[in-house]
A and B are shown apart, each in its own frame.
Chain A
Amino acid sequence: DVKVTQSSRYLVKRTGEKVFLECVQDMDHENMFWYRQDPGLGLRLIYFSYDVKMKEKGDIPEGYSVSREKKERFSLILESASTNQTSMYLCASIDLRGEGYTFGSGTRLTVV
């Protein structure tokens, strides 16, 4: 089974801190994604990457950046955390042969 692993289930950070959310997948997928999920707003795409060092903005990239130095790892960076970035963050990867998306278990980030 494909595994997408997010390094932390829960994080609490202070306003202004630089925050790194890590995601690793073990099936050599080219495409990886970061979403955030908020009540009433559903899942919104932040950034995605279709290859090493390649990235594209999603629907809500403001306040975030990403890094993809290795194929298996896709990092989401909050340059200066703010309280409105308190959310559930979900990482996903996809098998382009058509096997669908696989999601990680999520990181619940609280910015205080």
Chain B
Amino acid sequence: KQEVTQIPAALSVPEGENLVLNCSFTDSAIYNLQWFRQDPGKGLTSLLLIQSSQREQTSGRLNASLDKSSGRSTLYIAASQPGDSATYLCADPFSSGSARQLTFGSGTQLTVLP
């Protein structure tokens, strides 16, 4: 069964810093990898979806990469802002085994200090 790990569990940075969030997975037969953001008490908002044929995706200040051979994905946030404070989750949308499940990492709680 796919396992997804996110490091660090929590991160605090001053405003303006560039930062990297890490996601690793055990099964390299990954179909896609999706990054989400969750604000406290709210649902999940999709940030980026990297399909298996792609190496990276970019949206504004966010860039996500996928390296299937090493079992890793990274989310790069440029010029961080206090509004970026949230929990960031990565997930494999097509885990092996039971079809169509979503295996989540435990998340990285990001705090950007003004």
A-to-B contact residues, CB < 8 Å: 6, 31, 33, 42-43, 45, 48, 50, 56, 58, 88, 90, 92, 94, 96, 98-106, 108
Contacts and interface: CB of A to CB of B under 8 A. Distances in A.
Nearest to B34: A100
Contact of B42 (A43, A100, A101, A106): A106
Interface in B50-108: 51, 89, 91, 93, 98-102, 104, 106-107
Contacts of A6: 43
B28 interface: no
A105 B42 contact: yes
A42 B46 CA distance: 17
B100 A94 contact: yes
Nearest to A90: B43
B59 to A, nearest CB: 13
B2 interface: no
B34 to A, nearest CB: 5
Contact of A100 (B43, B89, B93): B93
Given A100-B46, A108-B41, A42 B104 contact: yes
Most chain A CB atoms below 10 A, which of B32, B101, B102, B106:
B102
Given A42-B104, A94-B102, 20 more contacts: A6-B43, A43-B104, A48-B101, A50-B99, A56-B98, A58-B101, A92-B44, A92-B102, A94-B100, A96-B100, A98-B51, A100-B49, A101-B44, A101-B46, A102-B46, A103-B36, A103-B44, A103-B45, A106-B42, A108-B41
